[in-house]
Amino acid sequence: MQFFLFFKSSSSSSSTTTTTTTNLVFVFFLLHLFIARALITMPPNVTIPAVIMFGDSIVDTGNNNNLKTITKVNWPPYGKDFPGGIPTGRFSNGKVPSDILVEELGIKELLPAYLDPNLQTEDLETGVNFASGGAGFDPLTSALASAISMSDQLELFKEYLKKLKGVVGDERTSTILANSLHVIVTGSNDIANTYFNNPIRNLHYDISSYADLMVTSASSFVQELYLLGAKRIAVFGVPSLGCLPSERTLAGGGTRECAENYNQAGQLFNTKLSSALSSLTSSLNDPKSRLIYVDIYNPLLNLIQNPKKHGFIVTDKGCCGTGEIEVGELCNKLSKMCPDDSVYLFWDSFHPTERGYKILVNQILQKYINDLV
């Protein structure tokens, strides 16, 4: 971005001074805006050509739009703060972490859904999104939600690689793949929905053995990605699930406190996942590989517990409807909306607002970018 300063010629020194001062103030204002939106600082001589996303509704940018599933949000009020004010299938009022990530890295403004019928060929080189709202590491989770399972997301990724090779050739595809950032964001639906609310799982597993099932699935997914040529892989843990508005309502008692059993389950899974990724890194013995566990549990909990520090007022309810239980179809265009979603951490009872996501993504990049490259 460049700024040009023009000074108006005048015989009057007073006029010249006034004009110069006005121009300088304007330029400083523009510079302030630019700095406020500055991209993440990358290490020297490092580039990330593309971001490839896998996961669930936290990062889905519209893959579910044409599926036969109730887990989709391509209608108002979702997308009310998205460019153009249109619903795109993103589970928020605006952009989601997939978009914010590629924007912060300076790659492009949005990360398109791979199944978007309007996907452009040039987007293949800079990254696409395979995430599907309702998906999970547990295959049962995706089946219950009629979402694209993680194994099917991997099959779509293989299809994508063939298309990319057709556009840029084998050598360039290998280079893009090795240097791109591959991100996996899922697991919340497994614990919050499949385990705690489905007898098929909680009658046959205790939470520790269920976490093992999830971690085994996650490890297999990462290994398959690596074998396909991915080197930089970031796997997100689950957030503080018990403090999400929906879980407060369902399991937090009459006062809607954070549901500690959900939080403890999430922490257990996160610990096991982090350990598994460390072991996998050691077993690969590849100095070029980067398999990183990303902690989202504590950053989100910090926003919930210290809202004023970040400009939030409401963190125990979403903006949509009562804010206590509504997600998806319950957040339709007839629902009552909060007057100002910028002071809400959550958009609906499960998904943060764009503003919340921006803070979280920026914090995560600041913490992990050097580990990933």
Q: Which of 60, 98, 182, 351 is catalytic?
A: 351
Q: Are 353 and 347 in contact (CB under 8 A)?
A: yes
Give the SS3 label for residue 294. Answer: strand
Q: Are 142 and 132 in contact (CB under 8 A)?
A: yes
366 phi, psi to nearest 5 deg: -60, -35
Q: Are 133 and 149 in contact (CB under 8 A)?
A: no
Q: Where are the beta strands (DSSP E) in the chain?
A: 51-55, 181-185, 232-236, 290-294, 314-318, 344-346
DSSP for 32-44 reads HHHHHTPPPPPPT
Integer CA distances (angstroms), 370 to 33, 143, 273, 282, 355, in order: 26, 37, 20, 19, 24
- The Cβ-side half-sphere exposure at 260, using a 13 Å CA radius, reads 0
Please give the Cα distance from 16 to 19 (Å, whole number): 5
Please give the Cα distance from 293 to 124 (Å, whole number): 26
Q: What angle do CA 250, 266, 261 make, to 5 degrees?
A: 45
- Kind and range of the H or E run holding 210: helix 207-227
Please give the Cα distance from 185 to 370 (Å, whole number): 19
Q: Is 149 a catalytic residue?
A: no
Q: Which of 57, 92, 180, 217 is catalytic?
A: 57
Specify the amino acid at residue 340.
Answer: D
Kind of pairing, strands 314-318 and 232-236? unpaired
Q: Which of 56, 180, 348, 349 is catalytic?
A: 348
Q: Is 348 a catalytic residue?
A: yes
Residue 217 structure tokens: 């699935």
Q: What angle do CA 75, 334, 83 make, to 5 degrees?
A: 40
Q: Is 351 a catalytic residue?
A: yes
- Kind and range of the H or E run holding 97: helix 97-104
Instruction: Show which residues are catalytic.
Output: 57, 348, 351
